[in-house]
Amino acid sequence: MSIENNARDATMVGRRTDGTAFRRPLSPHLQVYDMFQITSGMSIAHRITGTIWAVGLLFLVWWLVAAASGPDAFATAQWFFSSFIGILVLFGLSAVAWYHTLAGVRHLMWDSGYGYDIPTVQKTGRIVLIATGVMTVLTWFIAIIAWA
Amino acid sequence: MSDVSKVTVRQRSALGRVRGMGSAKQGSHHWWVQRISSMALLPLMLWFVISVASLAGHSYADTILWIGHPFNATLLLLTIAIGFQHTASGLQVVIEDYVADEMSRMAAVLAVKAACTLFGVLAALAVLKIAV
């Protein structure tokens, strides 16, 4: 957080190039705003899942590099991915990936100008949450069938 | 001050409006590339997740055969390139929002871009080594 050393900054008052004053827009206050309602909660979750997925990409790199390096390296990667922690990590990543993908579709809908009224926002939010669960289970259903 | 709140806010100067580049000096380019890459990643993501899930428990030879198939290798290369580009631009926005100090912010953004380039090229090279 930056320290405000200017009273005008602190009170969110700005000046236009012609010198007239105006009030700058203010973000929701973190200690007052309820961040766990579906609107803001899912917005924060979109960022968090995007960041986790970025770290998760390292497992994709590992898998590909191991496959390119030969059977021994691939066996090591397979051993990790089929271990308890490995499956836990992959399960978490698949849920994170589906959430970020589906919430991303919701963002694209907003970007093209649709679905801004509160009932629709809450409805699409619930759809994304349910679809994330369904797609994650479906993904692992496919994986278990392939494994067996 | 009481009349100030009633004034319609127009913060941009005439010159700023003509240039249309905003405070980031890049206009809407970064935002637009993020949307385009996200649209491209939608079908790639569907294909990748279903394919990798179907590969679960398969042997080394099967996996190499799958990665090496021209169709899969092409889609993998696209997923890697667009995925790491989308990741870098997304993390950049997160950093720009939360890191206030300019030098730290620039260092963090450059480090993210370097890491995404490094791992992207590494992953792409692995696919090419198997496929070519």
B122 vs A54, A61, A74: nearest CB: A61
Q: Cβ contacts of residue B122 below 8 Å, gap of 6+?
A: A61, A65
Strands (DSSP E) contained in A1-148 are: 13-15, 21-23
- Residue of B77, B31, B117, B87 lying closest to A49 (CA atoms): B87
pLDDT value of residue A148: 82
Q: In the CATH scheme, what is the code of domain A30-147?
A: 1.20.1300.10
CA distance A78 to A76: 5
Task: Name the residue with higher pLDDT: B10 or A118.
Answer: A118
Rounded Cα distance, A104 and A128, in Å: 10
Instruction: Give the domains, in start order, of chain B with CATH numbers.
Output: 25-131 (1.20.1300.10)
Query: Is residue B15's pLDDT more than 90?
Result: no
The structure tokens 């394919």 sit at: B51
Which residues of chain A are modeled with pLDDT < 50?
Answer: 1
**What ipTM, to 2 d.p.?**
0.84
Tokens standing for residue B69: 């198939």
pLDDT of residue B55 exceeding 80, the answer is yes
Residue B5 has pLDDT above 60, yes or no: no
Instruction: Please say whether the beta carbons of A12 and B11 come within 8 A.
Output: no
A46 assigned binding-site residue: no
Contact A57 B5 (CB under 8 A): no
Q: Which residue has the higher pLDDT, B111 or A12?
A: B111
User: What is the SS3 string spanning B24-72?
Assistant: CCCCCHHHHHHHHHHHHHHHHHHHHHHHHHHCCCCCHHHHHHHHHCHHH
Return the pLDDT at B26: 74
Q: Identify the pLDDT of residue B117.
A: 98
Alpha-carbon gap, residue B54 to B56, rounded angstroms: 6
The pLDDT of residue A31: 75
pLDDT by residue (tens digit) across B67-79?
Answer: 999 999 999 999 9
Amino acid B10: pLDDT: 66
Q: What is the pLDDT of residue B1?
A: 46
Candidate from A20, A74, A108 with C-beta closest to B39: A108
Instruction: Break chain A into its structural domains and give their ranges.
Output: 30-147
Q: What pLDDT is stored for residue B86 in this prediction? A: 97
pLDDT at B39: 97
Q: Helix (H, G, I), strand (E, B), or coil: what is residue B3?
A: coil
Min Cα separation B19/chain A (Å):
16
Helix (H, G, I), strand (E, B) or coil at A23: strand
Contact with chain B for residue A39, Cβ under 8 A: no
Phi-psi sector, B71: left (phi>0), alpha (psi -120 to 50), beta: alpha
Distance in Å, alpha carbon of B3 to nearest chain A alpha carbon: 9
